[in-house]
Amino acid sequence: MRLLKVDTLEEARNKLLKAVAGKDPGTENVGFAESLGRIVAEDIEAVENVPGFTKSTVDGYAVKAANTQGVSESVPVFLDVVDEIRMGEAPEKTIRDGQTSYVPTGGMLPEGADAVVMIEHTEKFDEKSIAVYDAVSDGRNVIREGEDIGRGSVFIKRGTRVRPQEVGVMASAGVSHVKVFRPWRISVISTGDELIGVNEELAAGKTRDINTHSLSASAAKYGFEVIGTSVLKDDRGLIKEAIKEAMAVSDVVLVSGGSSQGEKDYTADIMDELSDAGVFTHGIAIKPGKPTILAYDGASGTVLAGLPGHPAAAVMIFELLIGWLYRQLTDQREPRAITARVTENVAAAGGKATCLLLELRLGSDGTYEAEPILGKSGLMTTLTRADGYAVIDTNSEGLKQGETVSVVLF
Amino acid sequence: MRLLKVDTLEEARNKLLKAVAGKDPGTENVGFAESLGRIVAEDIEAVENVPGFTKSTVDGYAVKAANTQGVSESVPVFLDVVDEIRMGEAPEKTIRDGQTSYVPTGGMLPEGADAVVMIEHTEKFDEKSIAVYDAVSDGRNVIREGEDIGRGSVFIKRGTRVRPQEVGVMASAGVSHVKVFRPWRISVISTGDELIGVNEELAAGKTRDINTHSLSASAAKYGFEVIGTSVLKDDRGLIKEAIKEAMAVSDVVLVSGGSSQGEKDYTADIMDELSDAGVFTHGIAIKPGKPTILAYDGASGTVLAGLPGHPAAAVMIFELLIGWLYRQLTDQREPRAITARVTENVAAAGGKATCLLLELRLGSDGTYEAEPILGKSGLMTTLTRADGYAVIDTNSEGLKQGETVSVVLF
């Protein structure tokens, strides 16, 4: 495993993607209403037209558009009312020249009609006829059968994150179940002799464990299922056993702490021993997050990721690698970024990419300013102050005040 | 209730906010790890310093910075190693001039020391001393006690949506429980004689109910609890009974369909009868969404909202009014918007605001183009094609191609 060189973020991503090439991201069928927030795993094709019939979009009178040619406020046309169409029912009467039927919003157009005149543009003339004061063109105030979704067309694509409107459109097309990617199973292991729990008494030298909580929450944000978390003393045997057990049931095992160059840093060795492909990345040229380890075990289909012990860096590396990997394997689009002008010069990090944390402010002109958060990377509050981040390329010469950056929101 | 005039969106919002002024948005205590995605209901103040002691951010040697003054690669200083500090333990030895202790990343600084020299800039000289090749300033490579969060300071504000980093920072500060706003209880009633379910056989004139599903999903997006949905025939008695029952247990009752000017549109009358303050908005000058009804019943603390029957319009009005109202009452920030150049001219809607649906495309220069989705408002797929929307003001003269718009993402 002796890796002498750190990877760029791009190299690490490429290696990771290549390593997991054979991994099936896995799918499951869920009820369409339960699919909110999930990622659709295959194109959804319509088995019926939506709407299933040509319908009116207004309350009014269904007509042959040709019968209203030349009609105006001062020159009405008179039509015989042959039917009053009811919601949810099929019209019985066909419209012929000189005829019309009342149709409510959402009601089905009768045969022979091709447009609807709004009720506001008509007047009752006698018991059996109306005056029409508006010329309508073919298709006016109607939605044609299949105009929203045509039978056989793909109306939701693989890789789509289901929003309320996708739930609605599935309902409209009679799609009761949908194949979505199953949530990845994640195990989080936090190591360190100094770690205590959130409810324990704080003693000198002790630090509350953050990473099992923040990384579990990061995983939950992606819809992943956190199947286990553990906080372990910095003991080789303990850690190895925990990783091995987690691998049997997880898609991703996250281990934080123990990935820098200190004396007790055997995480990389353990991951190398436990994975058939071995460790392929040990160190990424990014700030913060350099001490990142990546390995993949094809036999169990498990990604092993050694994350920095610094909580803020661990969350960032999870976003940049694991979140990114999931989007890649499930054909999701990268998140939309906010364009903003940086409020001060930012120096380049000589040979390293920088994950720059930014706080957004909306200017009076409706555009955003982004203020760099320059605190030490060990401070968790740098992340809570940040609205998002921008990755500044390895080869960048830094940012000049007023320069535009793309801010990915947390 | 005779309301002769439609409101602008702003007027409707102001009336709604004024009407619900006495409504308690309600709070509950949850475990900090379960608070992900929830809205914090009161400022969170630190009861302890984070970190609880001054710690090293690197593996190295704790020193008095003054002892390294003038030191360089060629002019080292020699220091006696008096201790090896272990993770999670309090150092026993105080550092005096000429002394140092080894300290691992995250380890506690011994008394007397005020900086750490990275191990890479040191060399073992003999069993009991090291050579230091780097001059460090006071505070170098350390995080001071309370530097991340000072005891007594507010580190998470009321109105904050909890992200993974907020979960992490709560863990770091020993905050095991947090007061968050309770989810609003929502009932969704969809009315119409034409409505059938997602699994029913499609017959002529029938339309699948969309609104209970898309509005439930919209509510879920905000973390609301949907306590009931019903699809009702267009029958005054039935609808009144359903609204009344829902009011007893809901914060918001959404009724879609029956809010236009058609013959069976008695939703407004029912809402007026059932609410002590009566209907205060009947019609909003916005496209789509004009036939919107708003009422508030102070006795039960229930917002009554009659939404358009058009599914896309119903989702939009939910976003613009109910989502907005919740953010207002819980002190949340409005969502960040993407700035984009519109790809074509958009005509103004004469006297109405327009909720313009937009599809975003990332240009090669890293900025976004926004293509207006100009389909009929009855088409649900206009919403699924859209990445977001922009509200074009009532008094706007429309948009010129290339003009900048703020796109709120769905």
pLDDT band, very low/low/confident/very high, at A64 (cuts 50, 70, 90): very high
pLDDT band, very low/low/confident/very high, at A290 (cuts 50, 70, 90): confident
CB-nearest to B167 from A55, A59, A214 is A214
pLDDT at B302: 97
Given a cut of 90, whether residue A92 has pLDDT beyond it is: yes
Cβ of B379 within 8 Å of Cβ of A143? The answer is: yes
CA distance B185 to chain A (A): 17
pLDDT at B3: 66
> Can you tell me the mean pLDDT for B165-183?
97
> Can you tell me the mean pLDDT for A139-148?
96
CB-nearest to B194 from A87, A147, A367 is A87
Given a cut of 60, whether residue A259 has pLDDT beyond it is: no
How far are the Cα atoms of A155, B80, B280, B318, B354 from residue B3, in angstroms, in the given order? 41, 87, 8, 22, 22
For A201, name the nearest residue in chain B, comparing CA atoms only.
Answer: B174
- Please tell me the pTM assigned to this model: 0.93
Q: What is the pLDDT of residues B300-309, one digit of tens each?
A: 999 999 999 8
Given a cut of 90, whether residue B262 has pLDDT beyond it is: no
**Any A CB within 8 A of B409 CB:** yes
Instruction: Give the single-character DSSP code of A320.
Output: I
> Can you tell me the mean pLDDT for A10-14?
97
- High-pLDDT (> 90) share of chain B, %: 85
Of B332 and A287, the structure prediction assigns the larger pLDDT to B332
Evaluate whether B296 touches B302 at the Cβ level (below 8 Å). yes
Instruction: Give the single-character DSSP code of A184.
Output: P
> Can you tell me the mean pLDDT for B177-199?
95
> Can you tell me the mean pLDDT for A236-260?
91
Give the length of chain B: 410
Given a cut of 60, whether residue B296 has pLDDT beyond it is: yes
- With H, G, I as helix, E, B as strand and everything else as coil, classify residue A37: coil
> Can you tell me the mean pLDDT for B35-40?
97
Given a cut of 70, whether residue B260 has pLDDT beyond it is: no
Cβ of A204 within 8 Å of Cβ of B36? The answer is: no
Lowest model confidence (mean pLDDT) among A345-349, B51-55, B166-170, B174-178: A345-349
Evaluate whether B281 touches B12 at the Cβ level (below 8 Å). yes
- With H, G, I as helix, E, B as strand and everything else as coil, classify residue A176: coil
**Any A CB within 8 A of B111 CB:** no
> Can you tell me the mean pLDDT for A189-196?
93
pLDDT band, very low/low/confident/very high, at B78 (cuts 50, 70, 90): very high
Given a cut of 80, whether residue A24 has pLDDT beyond it is: yes
Q: Compute the distance between CA of residue A401 and CA of residue A399 in angstroms, rounded to an integer.
A: 7
Task: Find the angle CA(B282)-CA(B286)-CA(B292) to the nearest 5 degrees.
Answer: 30
Task: Find the angle CA(A308)-CA(A309)-CA(A310) to the nearest 5 degrees.
Answer: 90
Q: What is the largest CA-CA distance in chain B?
A: 97
Q: Note if the bond before A308 is cis, omega within 30 degrees.
A: no
Given a cut of 90, whether residue B366 has pLDDT beyond it is: no
ipTM: 0.93
pLDDT at A349: 78
CB-nearest to A214 from B165, B193, B406 is B165
Instruction: Kindly provide the b/e burial profile for residues A367-395, where b requires at least 16 CB atoms within 10 angstroms of the residue's own CB.
Output: ebebbbbebebbbbbbbbbbbbbbbbebe
For B51, name the nearest residue in chain A, comparing CA atoms only.
Answer: A207
Given a cut of 70, whether residue B1 has pLDDT beyond it is: no
Q: Please give the span between the terminal C-alpha atoms of chain A, in angstroms, as a whole number.
A: 34
Which residues does chain B have within 8 Å of residue A337's beta carbon, measured at their own beta carbons? 338
* Residue numbers of A between 286 and 305 with CB closer than 8 Å to B: none
List the structure tokens of B187: 């009932």
- High-pLDDT (> 70) share of chain A, %: 97
pLDDT at B264: 63
Q: Compute the distance between CA of residue A208 and CA of residue A217 in angstroms, rounded to an integer.
A: 16
Evaluate whether B332 touches B161 at the Cβ level (below 8 Å). yes
Given a cut of 80, whether residue B4 has pLDDT beyond it is: no
- With H, G, I as helix, E, B as strand and everything else as coil, classify residue A185: strand
Q: Compute the distance between CA of residue A174 and CA of residue A313 in angstroms, rounded to an integer.
A: 45
Instruction: Kindly provide the b/e burial profile for residues B282-293, where b requires at least 16 CB atoms within 10 angstroms of the residue's own CB.
Output: bbbbbbbbbbbb
> Can you tell me the mean pLDDT for A17-44?
96
Cβ of B168 within 8 Å of Cβ of A263? The answer is: no
Q: Compute the distance between CA of residue A229 and CA of residue A240 in angstroms, rounded to an integer.
A: 15
CB-nearest to A208 from B105, B174, B208 is B174
Evaluate whether A373 touches A407 at the Cβ level (below 8 Å). no
pLDDT at A322: 98
Given a cut of 60, whether residue A267 has pLDDT beyond it is: yes
Residue by residue, what is the 3-state secondary structure of chain B?
CCCCCCECHHHHHHHHHHHCCCCCCCEEEEEHHHHCCCEECCCEECCCCECCCCEECCCEEEECHHHHCCCCCCCCEEEEEEEECCCCCCCCCCCCCCEEEEECCCCECCCCCCEEEEHHHEEEEECCEEEECCCCCCCCCEECCCCCECCCCEEECCCCECCHHHHHHHHHCCCCEEEEECCCEEEEEEECCCEECCCCCCCCCCEECCHHHHHHHHHHHCCCEEEEEEEECCCHHHHHHHHHHHHCCCCEEEEECCCCCCCCCCHHHHHHHHCCCCEEEECECEECCCCCEEEEECCCCEEEEEECCCHHHHHHHHHHHHHHHHHHHCCCCCCCEEEEEECCCECCECCEEEEEEEEEEECCCCCEEEEECCCCCCCCHHHHHCCEEEEECCCCCCECCCCEEEEEEC
Instruction: Give the single-character DSSP code of A75.
Output: S
**Any B CB within 8 A of A333 CB:** no
> In the predicted model, what is the mean pLDDT of chain B?
94
Given a cut of 90, whether residue B289 has pLDDT beyond it is: no
CB-nearest to A168 from B57, B105, B210 is B210
Given a cut of 70, whether residue B14 has pLDDT beyond it is: yes
Cβ of B380 within 8 Å of Cβ of A168? The answer is: yes
pLDDT at B376: 78
Q: Among all chains, which residue has been given the structure tokens 């109202």?
A: B325
Evaluate whether B335 touches A131 at the Cβ level (below 8 Å). no
Which residues does chain B have within 8 Å of residue A48's beta carbon, measured at their own beta carbons? 202
> In the predicted model, what is the mean pLDDT of chain A?
94
pLDDT at B348: 81
Cβ of B262 within 8 Å of Cβ of A104? The answer is: yes
Cβ of B216 within 8 Å of Cβ of A33? The answer is: yes
pLDDT at A129: 97
> Can you tell me the mean pLDDT for A186-213?
94
CA distance A299 to chain B (A): 31
pLDDT at A375: 78
- With H, G, I as helix, E, B as strand and everything else as coil, classify residue A204: coil
CA distance B143 to chain A (A): 8
For A105, name the nearest residue in chain B, comparing CA atoms only.
Answer: B262
Lowest model confidence (mean pLDDT) among B96-100, B168-172, B198-202: B198-202
Which residues does chain A have within 8 Å of residue B264's beta carbon, measured at their own beta carbons? 104
Best residue in B207, B234, B290, B310 to probe A by mutation, most A CBs within 10 Å? Answer: B207
Q: Compute the distance between CA of residue B337 and CA of residue B360 in angstroms, rounded to an integer.
A: 12
Q: Give the contacts of B31 (CB within 8 A, at least 6 positions apart).
A: B176, B177, B178
> Can you tell me the mean pLDDT for A356-373?
92
Given a cut of 70, whether residue B259 has pLDDT beyond it is: no
> Can you tell me the mean pLDDT for A2-15?
88
Q: Compute the distance between CA of residue B254 and CA of residue B246 in angstroms, rounded to an integer.
A: 10
Query: A26 φ, ψ to 5°?
Result: 85, 140
pLDDT at A1: 59
pLDDT at A190: 95
Lowest model confidence (mean pLDDT) among A154-158, B148-152, B363-367: B363-367
Given a cut of 90, whether residue B196 has pLDDT beyond it is: yes
pLDDT at A397: 86
> Can you tell me the mean pLDDT for A212-227?
97
